[in-house]
Amino acid sequence: MFGYVNTDKSLPKEKRGLWQAFMCSLCFSTKEIFGNFPRMLITNDVNFFNVLFHGILQIDVQTEKTRCVSSPVVKRTVIKRDELSDKLAAANVILSYWNVYDDVVDGGSAKKKIALALMHKAYQKAQKQWSELDEQVKEQYQRLRRTEQSQCKVIDEVCHSFATLSQTFCRLTLAEKSSEYAETLCYNVGKWIYLIDALDDLEKDVKQKNYNPFAACMDISCAADAQKHEAEIRFLMYAVLNRIAQSYNDLNLVKYTCLTDNVLLHSIRQRTEQVMSKITQTEKKNGL
């Protein structure tokens, strides 16, 4: 379900370097605390929260030039690990573990099962470090599974668990510095992630007869059905995107906004259009 939140190509090269520098801080934190393998699990989604939370907390990051496994010859500018990046490294391990676990329960591939086994040691350590987050993530994934298994036909109800997971992640990370605006933003980012993943998988899910909220809530079973509901789907997606933009603007951030602006006001809208285009492209097919 991860992989949709990222910067887009319109981000200037020097700003893309800042995004990468934030990613490096997560990578160094992960290596120091959990070892090398979990570094492979770092997602752009969690890096977005890394940038966002540093901005909300108005943390002045420190940089240095260093070599690493991805740049062994040329020194690159990285952001030094700090307390927040350490915290988010633990969060990334927990979120990745439960995401892969969910895939395995769904009948995931042998690769997923191997990955889950390899993650277990790091997960146990992260679980001890941040047990409250782990409990909340586990609870919301279990609630989501129950909702999907019931073939729920109310789309807001289906989205609620993953949206709440994102909101709770925000609240636990920011603690007393959390706010209604920040939590509303993260709730809707989580909702968008769930919906865009479901929309992206619509064709595959219908073919394989897997649960999909769009198929269940709109009785979509073929290409013609999806096309009939294109306007409804677009309205739903942009309602969430507009709530994201409103909550984000209400935060009035001043730090690292070149990155958060790009992600929240441009990139996820562009990604939505890319996935939406799959519906119109099905006109050339006989069915989903």
The pLDDT tens digits for 61-86 are 999 998 777 777 778 889 999 999 99
Q: What average pLDDT does the segment 23-52 reach?
A: 95
pLDDT computed for residue 223 by the predictor: 66
* Pair 167, 155: CB distance under 8 Å: no
Share of the chain above pLDDT 70, in %: 97
pLDDT computed for residue 286 by the predictor: 46
Single-letter code of the amino acid located at 19? W
For residue 80, give the DSSP letter. P
Tokens of 263: 């992600």
Query: Nearest 5°: CA angle at 264, between 48 and 195?
Result: 90
What are the pLDDT digits (tens) for 172-212?
Answer: 999 999 999 999 999 999 999 999 999 999 988 998 889 99
Residue ranges of domains in the chain: 13-284
Task: Assign 65 to helix, strand or coil.
Answer: strand
Task: Return the CATH class of domain 13-284.
Answer: mainly alpha
What are the pLDDT digits (tens) for 152-172?
Answer: 999 999 999 999 999 999 999
pLDDT computed for residue 280 by the predictor: 75
What stretch of H or E contains 67? strand 63-68
- End-to-end, the C-alpha distance of the chain in Å comes to 21
Q: What average pLDDT does the segment 241-265 reach?
A: 98
Full-prediction pTM beyond 0.85? yes
What are the pLDDT digits (tens) for 267-287?
Answer: 999 999 999 998 877 555 544
DSSP assignment of 152-221 equals ---HHHHHHHHHHHHHHHHHHHHGGG--HHHHHHHHHHHHHHHHHHHHHTHHHHHHHT---HHHHHHT--
Cβ burial of 125 (10 Å; 0-12, 13-18, 19+) is middle
* Pair 29, 46: CB distance under 8 Å: no
Phi, psi of 234 (to 5 degrees): -60, -45
Cβ burial of 31 (10 Å; 0-12, 13-18, 19+) is middle
Share of the chain above pLDDT 90, in %: 77
